[in-house]
């Protein structure tokens, strides 16, 4: 019986895998056309300083509106773009679009804030990252300090040699660096002090354990303390509830990104609704 089950499982498994490969190939082909066909767009999720209720920045998050499949999550298509190498062109487009949007809001007289852009490890491997960032800033006229580049903790810790070299080159341009999804790797606490970074973003997985798991709460408290002692800024990602917010405030984390305040919004939604919150 066990043997029979095992056999069935193997069959299901390989059918699933075949479907999976086909789907990825389909998406990979479609993704090549997505840029030209303007199917990619950015949403912007506001970041809030709790004590003053001000918007202090945005994170640019990419979306793909496929004509047949609808909206596809970056969690699905970014890995596919990385595999095919297309991530470099997509990443360049994200940088240009996000910088241009931030500059446009500044030109309209709103208080200047930072725009954060996510980077893929493949963009570091290209060897051109700093010149691509430099040219995005020059083309859009955005002052470097209003651009923040996000790199995940996993990338910094695993690919340290060339990544750290690039991070220094990027810092030299005057942009800020933050470590995304912080707390999910093990080896990082002691190495954080040597990295050219300005801010850490506490991973949502920890935030979800607030009021659920006191050990995760302890880890959050230590991350906040560590950031302060190292002179780094810290922001909590994925904050959804009043209880989570109260805990973070109590522990001294005053900057928040999450559905509690705002979901990622289109530029139009921001134009219509919340830009007045940026006025000093």
CB of 83 to ligand C2E, least distance (A): 13
> Tokens representing 206?
């920890």
Binder of residue 74, out of Mg ion, ligand C2E, none (CB less than 5 to 8 A by kind): ligand C2E
Please give the structure tokens belonging to residue 48.
């809030």
Partner that binds at residue 101, options Mg ion, ligand C2E, none, CB closer than 5 to 8 Å by kind: none
User: Which residues, 112 to 171, sit near Mg ion by CB under 5 A?
Assistant: 118, 150
**Tokens representing residue 205 in the block:** 């997985």
> Beta partners for 201?
235
* Minimum CB distance to ligand C2E smaller for 62 or for 99: 62
Q: Whole-angstrom Cα distance, residue 192 to residue 194?
A: 5
Q: Which does 61 bind (CB under 5 to 8 A by kind): Mg ion, ligand C2E, none?
A: ligand C2E
Figure out which of the listed residues 47, 97, 118, 178 binds ligand C2E, where binding follows CB under 6 A. 118
Asked if 80 and 112 touch (Cβ cutoff 8 Å), the reply is no
Q: Please choose, from the candidates 56, 50, 62, the residue with its C-alpha nearest in 3D space to the C-alpha of residue 260.
A: 50
264: partner contacted, choices Mg ion, ligand C2E, none (Cβ within 5-8 A by kind): ligand C2E
Given the rule CB under 6 A, which of 18-26, 116-124, 211-219, 222-230 is the region that contacts ligand C2E? 116-124
46 binding partner (options Mg ion, ligand C2E, none; Cβ < 5 to 8 Å by kind) = none
Which of 45/106 has CB closer to ligand C2E? 45
For strand 176-182 and strand 199-202, is the pairing parallel, antiparallel, or unpaired?
A: parallel
Q: Name which position in 130, 153, 180, 198 contacts ligand C2E (CB under 6 A).
A: 180
Q: CB burial class (10 A; 0-12, 13-18, 19+) of residue 219? A: middle
Total binding residues toward ligand C2E, as defined by CB under 6 A: 23
Residue (30 or 234) nearer to Mg ion, CB: 234
Q: How far apart are CA 17 and CA 123, in angstroms?
A: 28
Cα–Cα distance between 159 and 151 in angstroms, integer? 11
- Using CB under 6 A as the binding rule, the residues of this chain from 32 to 91 that contact ligand C2E are 45, 61-62, 73-75, 78
Given 148, 181, 254, 255, the residue binding Mg ion (CB under 5 A): 181
208-211 contacts, C-beta under 8 A, 24 or more apart: 208/238, 210/243, 210/244, 210/247, 210/248, 211/243, 211/244, 211/247
Q: Which does 217 bind (CB under 5 to 8 A by kind): ligand C2E, Mg ion, none?
A: none
Answer for the pair 124, 163: CB distance below 8 angstroms, yes or no.
Answer: yes
Where does residue 38 fall: left (phi above 0), alpha (psi -120 to 50 degrees), or beta otherwise?
left
Residue 180 touching Mg ion (CB under 5 A): yes
Give me the residues that bind ligand C2E (CB under 6 A), please: 45, 61-62, 73-75, 78, 94, 118-120, 150, 180-181, 204, 237-240, 257-259, 264
């Amino acid at each position: 019986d066990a043997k029979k089950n095992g056999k069935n499982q193997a069959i299901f498994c390989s059918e699933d895998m075949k479907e999976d490969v086909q789907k990825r190939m389909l998406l990979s082909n479609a993704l090549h056309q997505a840029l030209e066909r303007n199917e990619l767009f950015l949403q912007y999720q506001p970041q809030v300083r709790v004590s003053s209720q001000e918007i202090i920045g945005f994170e640019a998050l990419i979306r793909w509106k496929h004509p047949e499949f609808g909206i596809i999550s970056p969690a699905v298509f970014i890995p596919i773009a990385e595999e095919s190498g297309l991530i470099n062109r997509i990443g360049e487009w994200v940088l240009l679009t996000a910088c241009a949007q931030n500059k446009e809001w500044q030109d309209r007289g709103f208080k200047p804030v930072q725009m954060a852009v996510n980077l893929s490890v493949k963009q570091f491997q290209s060897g051109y990252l700093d010149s691509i960032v430099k040219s995005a800033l020059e083309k859009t006229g955005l002052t470097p300090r209003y651009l923040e580049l996000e790199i995940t903790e996993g990338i910094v810790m695993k690919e340290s040699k060339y990544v750290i070299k690039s991070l220094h080159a990027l810092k030299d341009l005057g942009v800020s660096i933050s470590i995304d999804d912080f707390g999910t790797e093990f080896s990082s606490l002691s190495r954080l002090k040597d990295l050219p970074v300005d801010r850490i973003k506490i991973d949502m997985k920890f935030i979800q354990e607030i009021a659920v798991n006191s050990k995760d709460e302890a880890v959050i408290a230590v991350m906040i303390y560590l950031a302060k002692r190292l002179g780094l800024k810290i922001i909590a990602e994925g904050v959804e509830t009043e209880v989570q917010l109260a805990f973070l405030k109590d522990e001294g984390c005053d900057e928040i990104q999450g559905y509690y305040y705002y979901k990622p919004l289109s530029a139009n939604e921001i134009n219509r609704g919340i830009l007045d919150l940026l006025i000093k």
